[in-house]
Amino acid sequence: MLHELTAHALHEKLKAREITAQELTEAVYERIAEVEPHVKGYLTLTKDSALEQASHADTGFQNGDEMPPLAGIPIAIKDVICTKGVRTTCGSKILENFVPPYNATVMTKLHEQGVVMVGKTNMDEFAMGSSTENSAYQITHNPWDLDTIPGGSSGGSAAVVSADTAVCSLGSDTGGSIRQPAALCGVVGMKPTYGRVSRYGLVAFASSLDQIGPFTKDVTDCALVLNAICGSDTMDATSVDVPVPDFTQSLINDVEGLKIGVPKEYFTQALDTEIADSVHAAIAVLEGLGATVEQVSLPHTEYAIATYYIIAPAEASANLARYDGVRYGYRNENPEDLISMYKKTRSEGFGEEVKRRIMLGTFALSAGYQDAYYKKAQKVRTLIKSDFDAAFEKVDVIATPTSPTPAFKIGERIADPLQMYLSDVMTTPASHAGLPGISVPCGLVKSGLPVGLQLLGAPFAEENVLRVAYTFEQNTEHHQQKPKIQTNGVG
């Protein structure tokens, strides 16, 4: 089935003219018609423009042109990334009818590659959440078990790749929003180093943490998408001007001589025992292939979640001040005066979780509290980064679980924000330090839900991370396991 294949396998078929991009795109939309009513991964579908883009790619292949590896490949985009002429809601009522007049830099780069954009994916509102239950529009279901969450905030982007309703997708990762849903949906998800990919056109949640990255079916596709989207950008002041290697050159099936650190702080009693067993088994596979494994310590890990829930809401409260009903987005229709318009627009336009974080952030930045909260959190963030710096002087890559538990039931944690926040306990530390990290499938728990292995590298050491991930993948079969979507009675 075409929709099940990887981008690199499809590229070979397109190049050999065994298939056309239009046939491939039609196959993906047929798959969407079959399972999307149950998975609910998309907010907007763009079939007409997708078929046009496919036709354009086909012309290139038929003319014998040297076509980029992603030409004609159906890709989905998280609805927090601006797409010119295509609705971009951020999963929020306040941007329900917002149509950007420009493309994000990553979209410009993907269009230059000749990709086919299938649609925009569901997400937690303004990327605030770990389950995709905070969307103003719908709850996305995990293809492995439709009663469970797909993770968040990029749950839609993870679910559509897992369900084969897109070949690849883009998400954003602020505290784990690519890696955690990738783990829970059994796909590959990578957060590049902060500054490696332009954030221009990514609607901001927490500007010092946000980073765009790919969801793919295997590590090779991940390297191909990174090749397409990485690079410095004058439109983004936080974009770093460093050379972008060809990441496919990192796909070496060999970890001989590499040192893998295992942080003791990630293997606590809070970690699900089946997750721990799968991750330990994965690390043992790498050791058996010639890697040296040693324990490392990241002593400030326990403060990462508390630090994150000061810094991220503080930055969010500043970034979300622009949604006031004046220039664009939702506006209350019957305000008594300007202040009333602000108040009613924001009360009606934002969901509960977004309001909670705006209030937390505003409090943390308020007079008399900024030093006690925000400034102190930034100091702890520096300590977390220093822990990683010290560890990477001894090891090449750090291996941990991606999520402390498998996917939980829809509704199970929605009334307990603290339990929900702890879903990101394994992923937020690397976000504080701006590190590259990947989640690759490494097993299933007894209930049949996927487990993710997280591999972290030093800043701009994506090549080490990809090499270890690729070697693990080539010597195991976890990435070949697919969900069997039960479509009966779920809607």
Catalytic option among 92, 131, 135, 153:
153
Task: Give the E-state strand segments of 184-307 in sequence order.
Answer: 188-191, 211-216, 259-263, 292-296
Catalytic residue flag (residue 177) = yes
- Flag whether 485 is in a domain: no
Q: Please check whether residue 51 lies inside any domain of the structure.
A: yes
Q: What is the dihedral of CA 306, 312, 315, 321, to 10 degrees?
A: -110
Q: Which residue among the candidates 78, 191, 217, 385 is catalytic per the annotation?
A: 78
Which structure tokens are listed for 419? Answer: 């339990």
In angstroms and rounded to an integer, the radius of gyration of the C-alpha atoms of the chain is 21
Determine, yes or no, domain membership for 157. Answer: yes
Structural domain count, the chain: 1
Which residue range(s) make up the domain with 235?
2-251
Global model pTM greater than 0.85: yes
Got the DSSP string for 475-486?
Answer: T--GGG------
111-141 as b/e, with b when 16 or more CB fall inside 10 Å?
A: eebbbbbbbbbbbbbbbbbbbbbbbbbebbb
Main-chain phi, psi angles of 20, to 5 degrees: -110, 160
Identify whether 376 is part of a domain.
Answer: no
Task: Report if residue 208 sits inside a domain.
Answer: yes
Query: Which positions ≥6 away from 288 have C-beta within 8 Å?
Result: none
How many other β-carbons are positioned within 10 Å of the β-carbon of residue 338? 11
Active site residue 153: yes
Is 187 part of any domain?
Answer: yes
What is the distance of C-alpha 93 from the center of its chain? Answer: 22
By C-alpha distance, which of 42, 297, 324, 300 is closest to 158?
Answer: 42
3-state secondary structure of 231: coil
Tokens of 81: 């990334």
Query: Is 198 a known active-site residue?
Result: no
Per annotation, catalytic residue among 157, 177, 278, 403: 177
Residue reference for tokens 């990578």: 190
Q: Is residue 141 part of a domain?
A: yes
CATH number at residue 48: 3.90.1300.10
User: CA 185, CA 192: separation in Å to the nearest integer?
Assistant: 19
> 395 lies in a domain?
no
Encoding tokens for residue 87? 């609705």
List, in order, residues 6 or more apart from 115 with CB less than 8 Å away. Answer: 53, 70, 71, 72, 73, 74, 75, 228
Coil, helix or strand at residue 371: helix
Q: What is the pLDDT along the chain (491 residues), one digit of tens a residue?
A: 999 999 999 999 999 999 999 999 999 999 999 999 999 999 999 999 999 999 999 999 999 999 999 999 999 999 999 999 999 999 999 999 999 999 999 999 999 999 999 999 999 999 999 999 999 999 999 999 999 999 999 999 999 999 999 999 999 999 999 999 999 999 999 999 999 999 999 999 999 999 999 999 999 999 999 999 999 999 999 999 999 999 999 999 999 999 999 999 999 888 999 999 999 999 999 999 999 999 999 999 999 999 999 999 999 999 999 999 998 899 999 899 999 999 999 999 999 999 999 999 999 999 889 999 999 999 999 999 999 999 999 999 999 999 999 999 999 999 888 889 889 999 999 999 999 999 999 999 999 999 999 999 999 999 999 999 999 999 999 999 999 997 764 44
Closest CA to 118 of 158, 82, 76: 76
Contact 293, 260 (CB under 8 A): yes
What are the two backbone dihedrals, phi and then psi, of residue 471, each rounded to the nearest 5 degrees? -60, -45
Quickly tell me which residue has 């991750």 as its tokens: 279
